Amino acid sequence: MKKGIALLGVLAVICGCGTSNSKHAAGHPANVRYVAGVDNPWYPLEPGTTLIYRGVKDGKPSRDVLTVCT
């Protein structure tokens, strides 16, 4: 019984280690349709806008700056 479970575990690991035959890099889908501009009224991203977020992360002050370029 223990050998069967161990064999099943080894097979699961081997099956999970396969390679991909994808011609595209990870994170870059083949048929991407981006829009020219963002028109979300709840999150307006107008060029030149700078958003500054402040908070605490891991007990230390943090600051993130987002600047809209185009």
* Gap between the Cα atoms of 40 and 30, Å rounded: 25
Tell me, yes or no, whether 34 lies in a domain. Answer: no
Tell me, yes or no, whether 28 lies in a domain. Answer: no
- Residues ≥6 apart with Cβ < 8 Å to 54: 61, 62, 63
Checking if the pLDDT of 28 tops 70, the result is no
Task: Report yes or no: 68 and 43 within 8 Å, Cβ to Cβ.
Answer: no
Q: In the chain, how many domains are there?
A: 1
Tell me, yes or no, whether 7 lies in a domain. Answer: no
CA angle, 47 then 50 then 56, to 5°: 150
Q: Which domain holds residue 70?
A: 44-70
Checking if the pLDDT of 23 tops 70, the result is no
pLDDT tens profile 29-65: 677 777 777 788 888 788 899 999 999 999 999 999 9
Tell me, yes or no, whether 24 lies in a domain. Answer: no
pLDDT mean over 10-16: 73
pLDDT mean over 12-40: 69
Tell me, yes or no, whether 51 lies in a domain. Answer: yes
Tell me, yes or no, whether 65 lies in a domain. Answer: yes
The dihedral formed by the CA atoms of 16, 19, 25 and 31, expressed in degrees to the nearest 10: -80
